[in-house]
Amino acid sequence: MATASMRRSDRVSLTVLLEASGIDSQGQEFKDRARTMLINRGGAVIVLDRELKPEQEIQIRREAGPDSEKIVRARVVGEFGRQKDGYLYGVEILNPEDDFWKIEFPPMAESTEAVARMLLQCSYCKSREVAYLNELELRGFEINRGIARHCKTCSVPSIWTQAPHEDEKQRAIRAARGHRTREPDPIPEGEEQRERQRMRMKTRLTACIRQPDMDDELAVCEDISPIGMCFRSKRRYDTNAIIQVAVPYSPDAANIFLPAHVVYSEEMPRAGLFRHGVEYRRVGPRAR
């Protein structure tokens, strides 16, 4: 998932069950089960127990949902490693009009003032949207675990909650925490970012901290703003360390991990913890 066209939307940590088919690197036809680890509007990182070559085409089909018979063509961008249940491949859907995931991804430019990003699902029709939450909306979610918002499909206000993984009890979370993604370029500095840094919201939301070659760690988010957050954790992260953070985080639902770097790290001796401040790193068309 490293091409420019595939970075035009947020990347969502979500399990979607798939069937992949095509011809493998040995010239053998196959039709195997697969699953996603990350998705965005135009592609995904999938787990597939089959050797493939970069740039080759495969077909993918969702195993569940009303469009389970729909098959789309995808291009293998590259291999990112291997887990117990298969190889990690970045794939790009060749026809961007296919709307394969049935998720609405807003323009990333709208996320400038957001304090949190979540994949939400309408409790009535099950429509899904990536939502950029302001402070009031995040506070409401923290209290009620749901947000009242207008549903374009239902045409009425409804309650939206975090979208769950598909078939999570059997297949979803077994290897998800072992994956690490590439880091984008650093966030640019400027007066606008520094001003938003001062507009922090106090909270006690659960965050998940992700770093290459280490297990994911759950942490407590103390405050959050559109460009960063502060969290307490048992593990110490070095200043300038590159990490990924998801907040709010739930192991049983979709999560959006944002690339970030540690601005400061301080010990809390009485609590046996460490406090960290991080800044998000800019992604999308405004990146430099």
Residue 184 shares a structural domain with residue 276: yes
- For every residue of 44-75, DSSP letters joined together read EEEEESS---TT-EEEEEESSSTTTT-EEEEE
Which residue type is seen at 135? E
User: Does residue 286 lie within any of the structural domains?
Assistant: no
Does residue 88 sit in the same domain as residue 148? no
Question: Would you say residue 43 lies in a domain?
Answer: yes
pLDDT of residue 264: 95
Report the pLDDT averaged over residues 218-222.
93
Q: Do residues 82 and 109 share a domain? A: no
* pLDDT classification of 283: cutoffs 50, 70, 90: low
Residues 83 and 120 in one domain: no
What is the 8-class DSSP label of residue 164? B
d(CA 94, CA 136): 38
Does residue 249 lie in a domain region? Answer: yes
Region for 110 from its dihedrals, namely left if φ exceeds 0, alpha if ψ lies in -120 to 50, beta otherwise: alpha
- Does 183 fall in a domain? yes
Q: Confirm whether 120 is domain-assigned.
A: yes
Same domain, 209 and 228: yes
Decide if 287 is inside a domain.
no
pLDDT in tens, 103-144: 999 888 777 788 999 999 998 888 999 999 988 889 889 888
229-242 mean pLDDT = 95
Tokens at 257, concatenated: 């991990």
pLDDT digits (tens, 9 = 90+) for 40-90: 999 999 999 999 999 999 999 998 877 777 899 999 999 999 988 899 999
87/107 same-domain check? no
Cis-peptide, bond into residue 54, ω within 30° of zero = no
Number of compact structural domains in the chain? 3
Q: What is the pLDDT of residue 69?
A: 78
Residue 50 lies inside a defined structural domain of this protein: yes
pLDDT at 183: 40
Higher local confidence (pLDDT), 257 or 109: 257
The closest alpha carbon to 176, from 218, 210, 221, 207, belongs to 210
Token pair belonging to 28: 């053998």
Chain-centre distance of CA 69, in angstroms?
26
Mean pLDDT, rounded, of the chain: 83
| pLDDT band of 7, cuts 50, 70, 90 | low
Q: How confident is the model at residue 8 (pLDDT cuts 50, 70, 90)?
A: low
CA-CA distance, 200 to 240, in Å (whole number)? 21
237 against 143, higher pLDDT: 237
Range of the domain at 152: 103-162
Judgement on whether residues 70 and 113 belong to the same structural domain of the protein: no
Same-domain check for residues 45 and 24: yes
- Determine contact, residues 76/91, Cβ cutoff 8 Å: yes
* Distance (Å) of CA 111 to CA 84, 152, 185, 207, 260: 36, 20, 18, 19, 15
Q: Report pLDDT for 112.
A: 79
Predicted local distance difference test score (pLDDT) of residue 182: 40
228, 199 in Cβ contact below 8 A? no
Band (pLDDT 50/70/90 cuts) for residue 270 is confident
pTM above 0.85, yes or no: no
**Where residue 148 falls among pLDDT bands split at 50, 70, 90?**
confident
**Where does a domain end: 73, 98, 123?**
98
- The predicted pLDDT at position 108 comes to 80
β-pairing, 17-23 vs 57-62, is: antiparallel
CATH code for position 30 = 2.40.10.220
Q: Is the pLDDT of residue 180 over 60?
A: no
Whether 19 and 86 map to the same domain: the answer is yes
Q: Is the pLDDT of residue 181 over 60?
A: no
Answer yes or no: do 141 and 198 share one domain.
Answer: no
Last-in-domain residue among 43, 68, 98: 98
Do 276 and 182 fall into the same domain?
A: yes
Task: Flag whether 171 is in a domain.
Answer: no
| pLDDT over 60 at 154, yes or no | yes
